[in-house]
Every structure is written in structure tokens, then in C-alpha cells.
Structure 1
């Protein structure tokens, strides 16, 4: 009777930590033995369109282009807005990353000031492999698209000129989302230019979150603002995955 009870108790006992570790190791080894399909640029691109942000920005691009063609009245002055935006984009990207995405929550008059963009970016740093967190949150993106387009329509003297600028914003927005997604995917760099962009952003996430803020460019703004140090001289930050230390 006592022997049977002892046997039953040992059977029902939870697995030890050593047993659990062996099981996990065996599962990992089995996963490594399974043939893996190579990660291609085409497959990564198809995966990109599984998320709402690319469709939202792409849809805005298509609609804006259609309206711009319908309005007509193309002039050489249509170019100065897009040219200025492209020239300033590395700096704008740096400023948004530092002051919007890395916003530290503050309490003012008993109210905590925080934003959805900053909260989601902190989550993104916490788990850079969580793909949905790579993209601009769709609820924030709605307001970003409305805001950019409203400002453009008010700021430019002609509707056609405003639409040309809005087109350039949509193109750069889609480029940003694609580049950021590609960096965090399993696709490995094949060109020197992309490898530099890939390396900079990986250093930002896994080395030190206080440097390497550019995403789509090869550190133009980081060099300008002094956030492009030699990685060998920078200590690994304990808060790279926990912005502001929680």
C-alpha cells in the first residue's frame, strides 16, 4: 500500500528544473535539425504587407497620387517641398526618435504625460523581435497622416504644390517602415549601404539606446549630433531593453 502510494506521488510530482532544461535543449536541437527555408528579400517583402501600417501609408500614397494627377497644373515649384523634405529627413528622423519615441513619461500637475508612440516604442525596445511593434501603431498613424496632410494643405500656396509634398511624405513614410521592418527581420544584409544601416540600428537596440538614432540613413544625423561613437568605446547599456529603467 505504501509502495503504491509512493509510486503515485513520484508520478504526479512536477518535473525538476534539470528535467525541464533537458526537454528544452532536446526541443531546440530538434528545431535546429529541421531544414529551414532561406530568408529571401521577396519573402520578407510579402511579410511586410501583412501589417496595417504599410497598407495605410500605401493607400494614402495611391489616393494622393490620383488626386494630384487629377488636379494637374504641374510646376517646377512643386519640387522644392519634396527636395527640402528629402534633404532634412535624416535630421527629422533623429529628432523624432530622440524627442518623441524616447519621450520619458512626466507628471505635471498630478497628470502623467505620455504618448502611445512612446509607450509602444518602449515595448519595441523590450522585445525587438516582436514584429507588430516594429511598425508605427495604426491608431497613432491615423493622426500622423491627418496632421501631415492638413499642415501641407494650409502651408502651401497651391493645392497642387501641397499634394506634391504630401506624396513625398507618403513615399518616405513607406520607405521608413520598410527599412525598419527589414532591419528587424531575419534577412541578412547583402550590400554595403544596407549593412551600415542595419548595423547602426542593431547597435541602438543591443548595445546602447543613447546612440545611433537614425534608421533609414547611414548615420548622417548621428554624426551631426554626436551620437555616432566608436562602438568599442561605448559600454553596453543595462537599459537598452528597458528604456528609462522602467
Structure 2
């Protein structure tokens, strides 16, 4: 289960006379991880929306009880939302509708991510898909909430969780080793998903609350190693 191969980063360079494109990093601090994290577009894109929503929300004021309820509801639902997106969007099996193949960028990139879980750029949400998601969320916020301040509270909550998701998912796939039990449990579950069996352990930022609820958190010792964990939808 432990995968100790060196991590591919977007700025790796191969020294003259060597054949491997991978840079070996034997230890990784949180500072090292953060510097690499912010070399990629999606953290900056999410952080920008978060900052705008935060400034606008503080400026407008008008705090009400619903501004506390919205974050609590989203936080409670987030593990289930994460599970649903992972199963139905990221693990989407390409389908043909006449001459057209229905297959999103998110699903294609996620399959590539499974092929090489240590290829750092593939860990992040693709830029085009993220931009469309941000537009959709801003539109939803504008249409679904009765007052602009509540819409901003919604955006502030979603972008905070989105940034947490990107950071957690990225960190799991680096050489940073878990030092505390809560993160170790999250780290272990997601690595089971990639290196043990892709049909289980779909949550990323939480241990396995949604997986337990939806029966995708079995005892790893009782689950066979999948021959298709690195090649989604292939015949085993």
C-alpha cells in the first residue's frame, strides 16, 4: 500500500546524463508542500473567489441567524457531496450517444490521475472545469438565495471547503508523511482508493463518514487488490 516512489512535480528537471524525469525528494515539510501547492492555478483561483466573497460579505454586514445555518448545513453535507461527485462525475464511464462520446474533462483527467497518482499537476481541478464550476456556483448563489449577503455566505463557505479539498487531496499525494491520527486516517483511506481498490473509499477530506453510510468503507484486509485501480473502467 505504501507508495514510496519520488513525486513528479510540474517543475522537475532531469540532470544531463540521466534518464528519469522524476526529481527525488526524500523528505517533505509542510512549507515545501505549500510552496509547490501555490505554483498551480486552482488554489489561486479558489482563493481569489474566497477573498472577494469575504471582503464583500464583511462590507455589506447584515448578519443574521441564517448566516450561521448555511455553513453548518453545507459542512454537514460536504462528505456526502464529495462522495457523490467522486462516484458520479470523476468516475464517470464514457458513454456514446450516437456519434458523440459523453465524457467530461473532469472524468478524463481523473482517469489520468489514477494512472499516475503521483503526477502532481493531475491532482488539481483542471483550470477550465474549475472556471465553469465557479461561474455555476456564483450563478446559483445569485439565484437561489433571497438576499445578496446570504449568497456571499454560501460562496464563502463553498470556496473555503474547496480550498481545503484541494490542499488535502494534494498533500495526500505528496511525500509528506502523516504526523497526527486524524490526517493519517484520511491519508490511509485515499491511498486505499488508489492503490487497493478504486470501488471504495471515495471521500477525501474526511475519514469515511459518507463511505460508511453508503457501504464503501470495508475492512481493507477483506478487499481484494483491484487490477484496474490504475486503469479505471478497464477489464480486470
**C-alpha deviation, 1:115, in angstroms:** 0.2
Output one character per residue of 1:216-245: Cα deviation in whole Å (capped at 9) or x when no partner.
001000000000001111111111000000
Task: Note if 1:135 corresponds to 2:124.
Answer: yes
Please point out which of 84, 87, 111 is paired with 1:95: 84
2-structure distance, mates of 1:122, 1:37: 27
State the SS of the aligned residue for 1:166: helix
Task: Note if 1:187 corresponds to 2:173.
Answer: no
What is the 5 A alignment of 1:71-150? 71-150=60-139
User: Can you give the 5+ residue segments of structure 2 that lack an aligned partner in the other structure?
Assistant: 1-17
What is the 5 A alignment of 1:198-237? 198-237=187-226
2-structure distance, mates of 1:186, 1:54: 19
**C-alpha deviation, 1:149, in angstroms:** 1.6
**C-alpha deviation, 1:207, in angstroms:** 0.5
1-structure distance, mates of 2:68, 2:141: 14
Output one character per residue of 1:87-129: Cα deviation in whole Å (capped at 9) or x when no partner.
0000000000000000000011231111000000000000001
Residue 175 of structure 1 is matched in structure 2 by 164
Please point out which of 149, 155, 159 is paired with 1:160: 149
What is the 5 A alignment of 1:4-15? none
Alpha-carbon contact 2:190-2:201 (below 8 Å) kept? yes
Alpha-carbon contact 2:42-2:126 (below 8 Å) kept? yes
Return the index of the structure with the highest Cα Rg.
1
1-structure distance, mates of 2:89, 2:77: 17
State the SS of the aligned residue for 2:233: helix
TM-score (norm 2): 0.88
State the SS of the aligned residue for 1:226: coil
Let me know the Cα RMSD of the aligned residues.
Answer: 1.7
**C-alpha deviation, 1:202, in angstroms:** 0.2
Size of the alignment, in residue pairs? 215
**C-alpha deviation, 1:37, in angstroms:** 6.2
1-structure distance, mates of 2:202, 2:73: 21
1-structure distance, mates of 2:157, 2:120: 26
Residue 64 of structure 1 is matched in structure 2 by 53
TM-score (norm 1): 0.84
**C-alpha deviation, 1:80, in angstroms:** 1.5
2-structure distance, mates of 1:37, 1:224: 37
Structure 1 range deviating more: 106-115 or 210-219: 106-115
